[in-house]
Amino acid sequence: MKRFLVIMFLMIACNTEQKNVSQQAIKEILQAEKDMNDLALKEGFHKALIFYADDSVVKPQDGELPVIGKTTLEKYWNNEPDTKEISWQPFKAEASKSGDLGYTFGNWKFVSKDTVLYGNYFTVWKRQTDGKWKFTVDGGNNTPGPQ
């Protein structure tokens, strides 16, 4: 009887369907994305991205090898001028059923005194052990202006 109960318990445990928390994760990711954009407008693009970067972040660079790791990214941007003139807005977000990974895809806009540039971006987000979201990959490209 004891053996039967153990087997039944294992069968039930193995057949338990994972709860789908993707919609809640999407809401949280979109909020993290908004908060990161707000911080970039207030403190600067580099500072905001460093704050929201996972320790193992991968940041592709146009015409260069990607920068890998948060510490390396901090050093890479250390002597570079920061900007508060870039903003972005996601138009697509998805998250895993388990709610631990997700991505956003959207448009960015850079406005300076004499220049306006447009582009797309993608950001891969990972839930941290404390429940906060940090990005693990972030990249983008230039596009023509809106039609």
Q: Are 45 and 59 in contact (CB under 8 A)?
A: no
Read off the pLDDT of residues 97-114 as tens digits, 9 standing for 90 and up.
999 999 999 999 999 999
Supply the pTM of this predicted model: 0.85
Beta bridge partners of 106: 90, 121
Question: What is d(CA 90, CA 30) in angstroms, rounded to the nearest whole number?
Answer: 8
Query: Quick one: DSSP state of residue 30?
Result: H
| pLDDT tens by residue, 30-61 | 999 999 999 999 999 999 999 999 999 999 99
Q: What is the pLDDT of residues 109-142, one digit of tens each?
A: 999 999 999 999 999 999 999 999 999 999 999 9
